[in-house]
Structure 1
Amino acid sequence: MEEQSKDISDFIGAFRRYRRKILSIFIVIFGVTAVAAVLWPPTYRSSATILIESQEVPQDLVRSTITSFATQRIQQTQARVMSRTHLMNIIDQYGLYEDELRTQTTEQVIEMMREDIALDVISADVVDPRSGRPSTAAIAFSIAYDGQVPTKVQRVVNELVSLYLSENLKTRSERTEETHLFLRKESGDLSKSIAEIEARLAQFKENNLHALPELVQLNQQLLERTETHIRDSRNKLERLDERRFYIQGQLQQVEPHMTMTPGAAAVILDPEIRLKALSADFLSLKAKYSDTHPDVVRLKKEIDALERETGVTVMDAEIEEQIAVVRVDLSRAKERYSAEHPDVARLEQKLAGLEEELVASRAAQDEASDTADNPNNPAYINLLTQLDQVKNDALHARANLDGFLAKQEEYESRLVKAPQVERGYSAIVRERESLLRRFQEVRGKVMEAGVAQQLEEESKGERFVLIDPPQLPEKPVKPNRGAIIFLGFILALGASLTFLMIAEGLDNAVRGAKGIESLFDIPPLATVPYLSTAEELADKQTLYTRLITVAAGGTVAAIAILHFIIIPLDVLWFRVLRKLSVVLGL
């Protein structure tokens, strides 16, 4: 037996057999979706548009200290506005999410409100005035809030707009003030650093006063001048030494003391020469006569006078020889005799007398030394005067030379230290110049920051301007009841057809001539039509009436839903007419 194939007539017959169930499924599903669309609580949306208005004063004249992009500032402001504190204040102020607060945590409710708030940035293609390149810039942004009560929705958007505007002004004021304070602090720190580097530079100059780079040429000139003075001083000393040697040679040839000999008035002898001659005569006379002889006494007095005059003693040696001889005799006598022996006493007395004579002679010599140093020869005195002058000039020249040598060493030390001092000096000067440049830059920025702060205080800078205030929503934005009803219709129709196909596929009953022919492979001889009874005809009539009533009621309900929920009929009519006029070109 071949499988029975089904065509459209079979499905039409099946629809007639299962029409009650199919209609029940369609009515249930479509009715549930229609009721859900009608009973779904409406959600209203109110929005406001804020324009990002550029600063009134051109940036070429006054540059703002806020350099971030508008999109970035909007996101930062959004993070401030969407904080937990602000959102909870709005929820408490307007009584939002009362049912949710009973069943959910505060964090969940706040997250729910954040999801209901929408921020949309409006961008435009612009040309950067500084680089001249095309770019995209944010020129405005819109704030929207979804809620179930239109008045609350409008008030919430108003509050959000106020928060955005105030937070933007607060943020910009705080940033300009912080920038101004930071630059002023930086300027103060640089000023202190400059004062410190100035003190270091002054101390460095004081410590290296004569070795600074700008004095190198002067030190070189002073060194050359000092070397010239040294050469001149040395030459002068050489000339003075030569002069001194010459005068000393002249002094050796001139006797300092001049006197007359008794026998020759025209002959002048030196006192020392005369003393030597008289000493020789005295020794020769003493060898002949006793000490009391008149000639011996006279020579002795004359010798004493010359000794006092010249300071030269010729008798000391003789007295010292006599003392030595007496000491030897005394030592021998003491070896032979006792201390009281007359010879011992005589020798001791003689030794004491000789020692007293030696002492007196030396005292007389010291007394006469002063007079012996005073020459009386005019030529000798003239030479001595010249010699003293030469010695004084030499001492003065030597002192000058020592001073010049000390200066030369000092100047050379300065020149040797100059490269090292120059490196240290240049390092301090470079650091000072760098600090001065930074100080000038920061001072300029401080002035710009002050002007920018005043610009923000007077609301002349970039600001947010409300150009489209939030309106009271007149119709909900969701749910889309027409779409839900249409979707319910499609879902009900699909479910009904699916039921029909499944029911017909599972039904193995044989119906009609086509079923008999497919079952027995023999066509039937005749077909007797189904004869309905009066009761069945009445039931059909009732069913048709019900269907017409349901269709009419559904049509009226659909028109009512379209008019009251989706779009008014008059508005729809005018839209249709406008579309037709556009299509037909009227």
Structure 2
Amino acid sequence: MEEMQMQEMATSPVPLIVQLIDIAVRRKALLASCILTALTVGLSVYLIQPKVYQSDSLLSYQQQMVNTGRMLPDDKSKLQDVVSTLTQIVTSRTSLEKIITDENLYQTEREVLAMEDVIEKMRKDIRITPSKDGDTFTISYMGGNPDKVARVVNALAARFIGENMKYREDRASETSAYTQEELNMAKKMLDSKEAVMRDYKLKYFNEMADQRETNMARLIALQNNYQSRQESIQTQEQTYAMLRDQIATRKELLEAKQANLASTAGNSVQILSPAEQLEQLRAELQRLGLKYKKEHPKIKSLENKIARLEQSIQTEPKSASSSKTYSADDLTDKTLVSLQNQLKDISASITNIRKEKEDIQKQIDQYDKWIAAAPVREAEWSALTREYGELKRHYDFLMGQNLQAGSALNLERKQRGSQFKIEDFAQSPIKPVKPNFLKIMGLVLLLGCGAGGAGALLLEKLDTSFRFPEQLDAAFPFEVLCSIPRLPLKREIVRQRIWTIVGTASFLTWAVVLVAALGILWKQGRIIV
């Protein structure tokens, strides 16, 4: 209806502002009464509503000064998670119920509501607001008693700090216990794997791949040694055959000499002198030097005999003659005995060398087996060490984590870790946050003006009289030649004046009383702007 009235006024030939001013002047009593009524109602509503005070406390997050290897990272997202977790702990039933009991809060509500509902109401009155940068946050609480509101906020802040320390210590303790348990399990598995590897390596040490080069070098040395023994046996066998020939020749010579001795009358024999024996040995050495090398045992043996014989000739005096005569019974052949002794030595040497050769062959066979088994052992060892490498890396990682967790736990127990600090303690508020006097009075003033304007427009809608000549021109097809103003009677003028005086006095009295009430209530502190 108001919109239709405004549209009609807008289409009228009389300017809209002129029409509105005319309506306001004629309906000033309605407008004034609506405004004063609205202000009176607004003041009453403000006085009836209970005062709600809010107190705030600012907390900051202090980063730990000691770095424990980033075991407990304090990044922004982590801090938000911690604040969210601590908020749930601080606003838990146990925590809030204790604060309600200690501060004797919500007395009326506790008489009619269950404790769960009272706690839920308190949760709604508590507000924890993180800052944009994430390093600070605010704890707020609203209540009817300003002193209790401040105490509740400080209690919540202290509870927040205490729960944070406990939470961080519990988390560090759980982390340390978990890493220690995982470390023990990893160590047990690692020790078991190391025992298997140790037993395997002890059992197949010579067949391992890392021993292959050593085995190859040893095998080559044994093969060379075996070849050397083989050549030594061949040399010894040649010497053995030569000695047998020499012994046989010597025996034939002795038999011939014995036959000659038998034909002599004096039954005596002439043996060679040392000088003659030396000449004979030198001749023999020269003969053998054509057949054998200088390192040959026969050559060395003859050289030793020549040296001894030369030394014997130098120490003994020379005989007058070049020979001596002995009896046949005392006749002995030292050369034959020497040859026979050499033959025995060479035979024993050949036997020993053959035995050494057999031992070397056994060693060669053993090394061949070890070298042949190396690829198989290498594959088996690779399978063992592959899992061991993963276990060792996992164990080293857990060892580092356990050390860091222990350091973090010790840091938290000494209260040197990251923690919250109260930057601004809560103070008893002076100004309530609810109700807001200016907002209420401003709102009711707008409502009063709106109600008065709507009433005036409604009355104008019901009134069909013409107020301006231009309205007649628009309503009828004939032209208005002149307009005569209304000429009231004398009694009408008197009555109008009386109503004006009475109305004005009433409205002024109402306004003065309202203003005086506002002043008195403001002075009493019941109105807080």
Distance in 2 (alpha carbons) for counterparts of 1:565 and 1:36:
13
**1:510 shift after superposition:** 4.3
Distance in 2 (alpha carbons) for counterparts of 1:229 and 1:10:
136
Aligned to 2:489: 531
Distance in 2 (alpha carbons) for counterparts of 1:441 and 1:513:
100
Aligned to 2:479: 521
Aligned to 1:551: 511
**1:47 shift after superposition:** 1.4
**1:200 shift after superposition:** 1.8
Aligned to 1:203: 199
Give, as a single letter, the amino acid of the residue that structure 1 aligns with 2:479: D
Distance in 2 (alpha carbons) for counterparts of 1:160 and 1:430:
56
Give, as a single letter, the amino acid of the residue that structure 1 aligns with 2:499: D
Distance in 2 (alpha carbons) for counterparts of 1:492 and 1:197:
90
1:162 aligns with 2:158: yes
Aligned to 1:497: 453
Aligned to 2:147: 151
1:467 aligns with 2:463: no
Q: Which runs of 5+ in 2 are unaligned?
A: 1-10, 245-343
Deviations 1:252-292 (A, max 9, x none): xxxxxxxxxxxxxxxxxxxxxxxxxxxxxxxxxxxxxxxxx
Q: Which runs of 5+ in 1 are unaligned?
A: 124-135, 248-387, 569-586
**1:36 shift after superposition:** 1.3
The 1:50/1:113 distance shift into structure 2, 3 A limit, reads: same
The 1:66/1:239 distance shift into structure 2, 3 A limit, reads: closer
1:415 aligns with 2:371: yes
**1:170 shift after superposition:** 0.3
**1:479 shift after superposition:** 1.7
1:117 aligns with 2:131: no
Distance in 2 (alpha carbons) for counterparts of 1:400 and 1:460:
77
Distance in 2 (alpha carbons) for counterparts of 1:220 and 1:511:
131
Distance in 1 (alpha carbons) for counterparts of 2:513 and 2:152:
42
Matches for 1:123-142 after TM superposition, within 5 Å:
136=133, 138-142=134-138
Identity %: 24
**1:64 shift after superposition:** 5.8
Give, as a single letter, the amino acid of the residue that structure 1 aligns with 2:46: A
Give, as a single letter, the amino acid of the residue that structure 1 aligns with 2:85: Q
Deviations 1:222-277 (A, max 9, x none): 32344345556767888999999xx9xxxxxxxxxxxxxxxxxxxxxxxxxxxxxx
- The TM-score, its normalising length taken from structure 2, stands at 0.65
Contact 1:183 1:442 in 2 (8 A): yes
Contact 1:481 1:565 in 2 (8 A): no
Matches for 1:124-523 after TM superposition, within 5 Å:
136=133, 138-228=134-224, 230-231=226-227, 403-425=359-381, 428=384, 439=395, 442-510=398-466, 521-523=479-481
Contact 1:197 1:432 in 2 (8 A): yes
- The TM-score, its normalising length taken from structure 1, stands at 0.59
Aligned to 1:366: none
- Aligned with 2:206: secondary structure? coil
**1:545 shift after superposition:** 1.9
The 1:140/1:527 distance shift into structure 2, 3 A limit, reads: closer
**1:411 shift after superposition:** 1.1
Contact 2:53 2:429 in 1 (8 A): yes
- Aligned with 1:210: secondary structure? helix
Distance in 2 (alpha carbons) for counterparts of 1:528 and 1:236:
164
**1:86 shift after superposition:** 2.4
Contact 1:66 1:172 in 2 (8 A): no
1:74 aligns with 2:32: no
Deviations 1:438-482 (A, max 9, x none): 555544544443333222222222221223222122221122111
- Aligned with 2:207: secondary structure? coil
Distance in 2 (alpha carbons) for counterparts of 1:159 and 1:148:
17
The 1:523/1:427 distance shift into structure 2, 3 A limit, reads: same
Count of aligned positions: 414
- Aligned with 1:142: secondary structure? strand
Distance in 1 (alpha carbons) for counterparts of 2:59 and 2:472:
78
Max Rg structure: 1
Deviations 1:536-564 (A, max 9, x none): 43333222222222232233344456664
**1:436 shift after superposition:** 5.4
Aligned to 2:265: none
Distance in 1 (alpha carbons) for counterparts of 2:485 and 2:386:
122
- Aligned with 2:84: secondary structure? helix
